[in-house]
Structure formats: C-alpha cells, structure tokens
Structure 1
C-alpha cells in the first residue's frame, strides 16, 4: 500500500460518516477485502505517515488545546489528525498553529474541558486498530500474530523514540504566544 492508496481510504472513510466507530468499522471492512500483506502495509503506512507529526511543537499545540497531553493522548491526537484528511494533516504537520483554523478546534474555545462531549475530544485511538481487526477477520489469527507480523515487516527501524525539535512548556504563555500565537489566544492557561 502506498501513501496515495492510504489517503484515498482515509478520505473515503471520512466522507462516509462523522462517527469514529463507524468509520473504523468501515475501514476494517475495506481492509478485510485485501490480502494479509496489504493489510500489514496499511499499518506500516499509518506508522510512516504519522512520523512528521511526532514533534514537540505539535505536542505543545495539543497540550495547549486539551490542557494536558500524555504520550498516549498525543498519539491518539495524531491519529485524529490523520482522520481529518490529508490536506489538513499536512498543513498542521507544517504549522501546528493552523489547528486554530479547524472547526473541531474552534468549537471548543471558551468551553471548559469538563463540558466537552466524548466525541469532541481530538482523539481517534481506534484508527490504530483498523488493520488489526481486518487481519484477524482475514487470517483468523490473534492480535499477537498481527503485531509479530508488523514487527517482522518493520524490521529494526522503529523511528525515533523522542519527538523532533525542541521541547518547551505549552503552559508558558510568553513562549506559547511566540510559537503558537493563535492557539495560545484561543486556549489561555487556566
């Protein structure tokens, strides 16, 4: 699976429904029409596509919006960004402050995070399981078999364990105002 095929699947999925669970189910169904190697390539493509978003700058942007962002929640945020489509994904990967233009982000402004509905959180963890679901349907093998197969495809190159760029505190208003001027104005530190 190449990047173009990957993004076409994501776009088709995105147009089907806004419901993330339905989107993952549709995506898993589409992948289940593929042979095992293609399903594994989808997962590898997802991992490869995510690489440019593994930056401290984007992590700070997510942290600024959500008030706090752990390793896991940053990963789920990046998966949500994939689900937003290629154009949005690439624009935000280049300029994390561009998140300020997204309707999903704008509708959160001025509302306490305790009032956000589950669907409003900028996270799509389930995307990481679409290929797994397809794999188990097609092969009848286990989750462990899937991850073993992905590891075998991936080889020794796991990518960096640390985000790219310089780490900084998104709660520092002066620094955030310089680096993420629009987001820092939209999401002041409480």
Structure 2
C-alpha cells in the first residue's frame, strides 16, 4: 500500500495532536481528556486510503509493543492488566509520543520517569491506557466517507500481508513474585511496591 502516510508521518500526526492538547497531552485520566478527539480531527484531514494506512501503522505500533516486559510493567502501573487492558495501555502509550513509546518498548522501567506514572504510584491518580485511541481512525474514516461499514473490510485487505504476533515477545515472569519484579523493573517497583513513609 503506497500512500502519503509512513511511520514518520504517523508519529508527526500524534505529535501535532499532543501539541494542540498542551498540558493535557500526557494523562488519559478523565474527565474531559481532549487528546483522542484532537487526534480524530487530524486524521479526518487525510484521504480515506491514508486513514487506512494510518490504522495499519497503528496496528504495527501495537505489535511492536506486544512484549511481556511491557505488559508486566503495565500490570504494575495500572494495578492489573488483562488482554484488553494491554491493548488499551499500548494505545495510550502511543499517545505519549514517539520518544516515550520507543524508550518504553526497549526499557519498560523507563516509564518510571513519566510524571503521570510518578503520580499514579504516589496517589493512585492518573491513567495511561486509552481504549478510545483504538477507534480514532475508524471515527475519522466515518467523518470523511459518511459511513464506516467499509472500514473493516478495507482495513482487513490492507493488513492481509502483515505477519502479526500471536503472543507477546520477550521474557515473561510472574509479576506477583516481588523479587523478580524488582529485578526486572527496579524503578517502577520502587514507585508501586514501596509504600510512602
């Protein structure tokens, strides 16, 4: 699929949405989280074929972050993380921007540096996961096309050649085993396992 949306363009759209959201760009904690609506508006500026390309890259980024260490970090940060929760966590992680996303995929413990994660660890307030981000492209497609019925069919055809993982990559461990979690995620463990004095 040749379109005007490549990975760099995709991240530029995310970063534009973040810039517009300003100080609300890093926290999906409701109410009135503006970022997904801003992103949907920006995607709506694309042609239908480009919206499909945007969603295809969204899936590629989801797959890139489909890793056990990141899932275990999500479980620690959000107090639990099932399959759907991990989809939402990865979607929200993308909304934090390219640098944060890339660092977190390589080193999930780097999430301990984020102000929203620090706040979650100290006060229990804040959120990263974002289910609505998974529907932004489809909503944009509907705005542009006047219908969304063809979205899934066109997207399925566009993604047919993708080799998608059926299980997370990387080393897994039982997050409930505190010693193992501290070994793999020392900074996050300090935030979420050590009570404040």
TM-score, normalised by the number of residues in structure 2: 0.86
Matched, 1:171 2:193: no
The runs of 5 or more residues in structure 1 that have no matched partner are none
Instruction: State whether residues 64 and 171 of structure 1, in contact with CA within 8 Å, keep that contact through their aligned partners in structure 2.
Output: no
User: Could you give the per-residue CA deviations for residues 160-185 of structure 1, whole angstroms, max 9, x where no partner exists?
Assistant: 12000232111211101111111112
- Which of 184, 187, 190 aligns to 2:192? It is 187
By relative contact order (CA 8 Å, sep 6+), the higher-ranking structure is 1
User: Could you give the per-residue CA deviations for residues 57-101 of structure 1, whole angstroms, max 9, x where no partner exists?
Assistant: 000001111221011111111111111110111011100000111
- Write the distance in 1 (CA, Å) between the matches of 2:13 and 2:147: 24
- Which of 7, 10, 25 aligns to 2:37? It is 25
Matched, 1:154 2:159: yes
Matched, 1:123 2:119: no
Moved over 4 A (4+): none
Instruction: State whether residues 17 and 42 of structure 2, in contact with CA within 8 Å, keep that contact through their aligned partners in structure 1.
Output: no
Instruction: Count how many residue pairs are aligned between Structure 1 and Structure 2.
Output: 183
- Write the distance in 2 (CA, Å) between the matches of 1:149 and 1:122: 30
- Write the distance in 2 (CA, Å) between the matches of 1:189 and 1:129: 36
Shift of 1:22: 2.4
Matched, 1:2 2:6: yes
Q: CA RMSD in A?
A: 1.8
Instruction: State whether residues 56 and 164 of structure 1, in contact with CA within 8 Å, keep that contact through their aligned partners in structure 2.
Output: yes
Instruction: State whether residues 173 and 189 of structure 1, in contact with CA within 8 Å, keep that contact through their aligned partners in structure 2.
Output: no
Equivalent position of 2:72 in the other structure: 60
The runs of 5 or more residues in structure 2 that have no matched partner are none
Residues 88-167 of structure 1: pairs in structure 2 closer than 5 A: 88-111=100-123, 113=124, 116=125, 120-142=126-148, 144-157=149-162, 159-167=164-172
Q: Is the partner of 1:68 in helix, strand or coil? A: coil
Shift of 1:16: 1.0
Matched, 1:13 2:25: no
TM-score, normalised by the number of residues in structure 1: 0.89
Shift of 1:33: 2.0
- Write the distance in 1 (CA, Å) between the matches of 2:121 and 2:47: 44
